Structure 1
Amino acid sequence: MTDKDDGVFDMGAAENADLVRRGYEAFNAGNLAALGELFAEDAVWYAAGSGPLSGKKQGRVAVLAYFGELGARSQGSFQATVQDIVGGENHTVGIQQSHAENNGKTLDVATAIAFVLRDGKVVEGREFFEDTARADEFWA
């Protein structure tokens, strides 16, 4: 971490990647309490596509409710298998394989999430799916 003149601490690329990795671990364990600790209160999440779960989620409570809905709609089967985490000073990218099952349907798509971190918290997440239409159909 570095201390800028304004007293705000910036985390480096390695620390940002570690925070995102801890987030994936909490998500896949279904530990929304631990996951919530990693998000800023005013965090924003952009869920890809045009399906029923798509769109902007404003605030930590809304983001966690969205994650809970992913679990509920997949009977707890949704997993984000990390392929790689690329840490940067301003953005950290999680590259994952998203897998879920629901009512005989299977979702298995490559996904990337661009995270913006500030003061040791996730302040923004943007999802990018290899096949957004397939993901929309699965969650419908």
Structure 2
Amino acid sequence: MGAQEDVALVRRGYEAFSAGDMDALRELFTEDAVWHTGGTGGLSGQKKGVGEILAYFGELFSRSQGTLKLTLDDVAAGDRYTIGVQSGHAERHGKSLDQRTVIVFTISGGKVSEALEMAEDTAQASDFWS
């Protein structure tokens, strides 16, 4: 796959995530994909395998009572990585979180095999989601 296809894959992922379409998301990851979430909060760390990754996504929706909204601000592909820059908003326990996040995707064979998620303010994000 080339850069254009990788960008299209990431865009499809954001569309599926925003729609809550876990079946479509499942198709975009390799079975052994790994998702790394920065910080020290309850949702930080590695999620290994598509099942754990989708459970993490579900937990984001659950903890925010469905208020989580992501907007893909930009996406760019290079030789090794495809980078997504997103703006997000969520509400939880009377607090709100508005941050940009960068996700570095590794795409292999037309599917995401690894993702590294880095929030604008990792401490604030960790506190919010814990």
TM-score of the pair, normalised by structure 1: 0.91
Q: Which residue in the other structure is 2:81 paired with?
A: 91
- Count of matched residue pairs: 130
Post-superposition CA distance 1:16-45 (Å, at most 9, x none) = 000000000000111111111100000000
In the TM superposition, residue 89 of structure 1 has moved relative to its aligned partner by 2.9
State yes or no: 1:120 paired with 2:110.
Answer: yes
State yes or no: 1:12 paired with 2:17.
Answer: no
Contact 1:115 1:126 (C-alpha < 8 Å) held by counterparts: yes
Q: Which residue in the other structure is 2:98 paired with?
A: 108
Q: Structure 2 unaligned runs (5+)?
A: none
Counterpart amino acid of 1:54? S
Stretches (4+) displaced over 4 A:
none
TM-score of the pair, normalised by structure 2: 0.97
Q: Which residue in the other structure is 2:58 paired with?
A: 68
Counterpart of 1:30 (choices 1, 13, 20) is: 20
Q: Structure 1 unaligned runs (5+)?
A: 1-10
SS class of match (1:46): strand
Identity over aligned residues, as a percent? 55
Question: Could you say what the CA RMSD is over the residues aligned between the two structures, in angstroms?
Answer: 0.7
Spell out the pairing of 1:42-57 with structure 2 (5 A cutoff): 42-57=32-47
Counterpart amino acid of 1:109? Q
SS class of match (2:35): strand
Post-superposition CA distance 1:74-98 (Å, at most 9, x none) = 0111122111001123200000012
